[in-house]
Structure 1
Amino acid sequence: MSAQEILASVGSFSSHDLLLFEEKALRKIVKKKDTVLRQGEICQSVYFILSGSFVQFQSDHVTETIIDLHLAKEWMFNHPSLIEQVPSATTIKAFEDAEVIELSLINLHKLIARSQSFLQLGRIFDQANHRTYLFDNALSPVQKYNYIKNAKPLIVQVFPVKMIASYLKITPETLSRVRANY
C-alpha cells in the first residue's frame, strides 16, 4: 500500500508531501500477541494497519475488557494517552500477524513543520467518535450490533463472539441471540 493510499482517507497531499511522509513513517512487522503499547506506557505513535488486526484492552490481571478492535486499513492509537501524554489505561496487542506503518508524534510534528498539509492528519484523532456514539447513546444490543456491522463490517469475520461481546459491553449469549436473528 502506497503513502498516497494510506493518506487518501485523511486528505489530499502533494507528491512532495508523500515523499516526506515516507521519510518519517516506519513500516513494521508485528507478530501475533506482540504489543505495540502496554498499559502504563505513554502512547508516542499512531499506527496505520496495513494487514492484520489488533485488540485494545484494559486488564486488572484477572479479566481483560475489550476497549477497541482494530482492522486493516484503519489508524490505531490510544486516544487519551496520545493526546494528553498520560500513561495508557489500555494495552494494544496484535490479534494476528500484522504489518503497520508507525508515525511517531515527534515525526508527525516534524511533518507539520515542513508542510501545513499534514494538519489534515488531525482527522485521524476523530476516530474516538465511534466509541462515543456506541456508548453515549443508550443503544439496545441489536442497535449496537447493527452500528458495529456498519462501522466495521469485517469485525465479525475476524474476531470471536466473546471479544466482540466484550467490546459492545454485552454478554456473549446476548450477542449470539442478536446474531441468530440475522
Structure 2
Amino acid sequence: MTQPRDKSLRELQREFQLAGNNSMPIAGLICWSALGVAALFISERAAGTGALYIMLGVLPLAWALERARGRNLFSGADHPMTKLFLQSIAGLVFFIPIAVIAANVSGDATLVVLGMAVAVGLIWIPFGWAADDPVGLRRGIGQAIGCYAAYLFAPDAWKGSAICAVVVLGYVYVLSAGKKLGETE
C-alpha cells in the first residue's frame, strides 16, 4: 500500500472525497434545524446553551448516519486530509469562550448562537480544501456574512432562529452545490 507521503495532493483529496463524508452536512442540518425551531419557543439563554451542545451532537449523529449506511465516518482516521479536518474541529474550542464572554458582558445570549454559527461555518474551509471543493470556502464566507446580517437585522424574537436558518441554508448549499462525496465518477 502506498503511504500518504508518497501520494500527490490530488490523490489524497480524491481519497477524502471517496470516504463519503456527506453525513456531516446532513447531521449538521438536522441539529441546526432543531435548534432553529426550538429557539422560537425557548429563552435566548437556552438557545445559546443549545448552540454549545450542537458542537457535541453533530459528530456522533454523523457517525450514526454513516453506521446506518454500513460505512465508517472518516474511515482512515490516519489519512492526512481527515486529520486536517478533525484538527480544525478541535480548533473550534477556542471560539467558545469568545462567544460566551461576549454574551455575558453584553447580556445578549444570542451572541453564543452567533459565535457558534460563524465558527461552524469556518470548519468548512478546511473541509472544502481537503475535498478539493471550493464550496467550503464559499460556505464559510457566506455563512459568516449571513449570520452577522441575521443578528443585526432580524427582529429580537427571531434572531436565534434567523441565525440557525442561515446555518441550515449553508448545509443545503453544501449538499446541493458541493461535490458528491463518497460517489465514484
The two structures share one fold, judged by TM-score above 0.5: no
Structure number with the higher strand fraction is 1
Structure number with the higher helix fraction is 2
Q: Which has the higher contact order (CA 8 A, sep 6+)?
A: 2
TM score, norm. by length of structure 2: 0.37
TM score, norm. by length of structure 1: 0.38
